Amino acid sequence: MTYPQIEFQTFMHGRPRTCGVVLDIRDTVRAPERAEIGALCARSMHNPAATASGKIALLAADGIHVFQADARQSVRRVWCGNAVAAALAVEASAAARLEVHGPAGRRCTVESRCSGPSIQQTWTFEGSPRIIDREWRGLRVAIVGFLNRYAIVEGPLPDGVTPSEARLELVGASLDAKLAVVDPGRTDVVSFHNAAGEHGAAPLTGLATLGLARLRCSWLAMLLARGSIRHLEGGRRHTQALPRILTSPQGCLRIVMPGLEVALNVPGAEWEMAA
C-alpha cells in the first residue's frame, strides 16, 4: 500500500516551530511497524528552519498517534502539541474531537477549532498529574511525568554540570525525557532541553508542564507569578503565556494550548508500507 506523505511545518506568531510528516492511515487495515515509522522519521529530520523535527503523526481510525525518532531511528511514542495540530489540520474539520494516544497506554481527548491555517486545541485528561517536589544537588526540582517526563529545575545548574547531564541524571536518556531550567536571577526566563540538546523555542508540552507544576509547587508559582515565561528563540528573547489549566465538573483536567498555524505540503513522493 502507498500513501502520500503530508509534510507539515508549524508556526507560532509566524515563527517556525516543528516540522515532520502526517500519515493518514484511517482507511488501512494495518498500522505501520516501528521500523517503518523510524525510517519515515529519519526522512523528516533535516529542516534547519525548524526548532524541532523528526515527528510523525499517524491520523488513524481510533485517533492520533505521535512518534519521535533519533538519528539511529530508535522510535518512541511521545506527546507533541505541534504534531497533533498538524494531524488536526489534515483532518480539516472546522471543529473536531479526537483521541490522542500517548506513551504508556495513556490517552487524552483533543477538541479543536480550525480556521484556515490556524489551529486552536484543548486537551482533556482524566485524573491529575503526579508531581514530585524534591531537591537535587542543592537545587529545587519538580519531576512531572504527565506530558512526557519533565524535570523542572530552579537554576543555574551546578558548576560543571551540563543540561544534558542534568537531564540524564534526573529523568533519564529516553526521547520523552525533558529538562526545563528556570533562571532565578531573571525570574521567568526558561530554557528547554531534550535528547537533541537545547530546544530552539518553547515546546507546547513544556509550557503545559510548567503551567501544571506551578499550581502545585509554591517556589515555581513565585518564579512564574506572571503566568508567562521568557525564552530565547533565534537569538532574540520572546514572551509566551502559559496555557490555561481548567478543571471540569467531572474532575477532568483541561489544558488550553496556545494557538498554532500549520502549513501542509503533499510532495510527489509516496510512502510505501510493507505488505
- Taking residue 218's Cβ as centre, other Cβ atoms within 10 Å add up to 10
Q: Bin 251: left if φ > 0, else alpha if -120 < ψ < 50, else beta.
A: left
- Residue-range domain boundaries for the chain: 2-98+259-272, 131-251
pTM here is: 0.92
Classify residue 185 by its DSSP letter. Answer: G
- Taking residue 263's Cβ as centre, other Cβ atoms within 10 Å add up to 14
Q: What is the pLDDT of residues 12-40, one digit of tens each?
A: 999 999 999 999 998 887 778 877 887 77
Report how far residue 27's alpha carbon sits from residue 17's, in angstroms, rounded to the nearest whole number. 29
Q: What is the pLDDT of residues 62-108, one digit of tens each?
A: 999 999 877 666 788 999 999 999 999 999 888 899 999 999 899 99
pLDDT mean across residues, the chain: 89
User: Among 143, 87, 77, 137, which residue's Cα sits nearest to residue 110?
Assistant: 87
Confidence band, pLDDT 50/70/90 cuts, at residue 275? very low
Q: What is the pLDDT of residues 134-173, one digit of tens each?
A: 999 999 999 999 999 999 999 999 999 999 999 999 999 9
131-251 CATH fold? Diaminopimelate Epimerase; Chain A, domain 1 (3.10.310)
pLDDT at 271: 46
Q: What is the pLDDT of residues 236-248, one digit of tens each?
A: 889 999 999 999 8
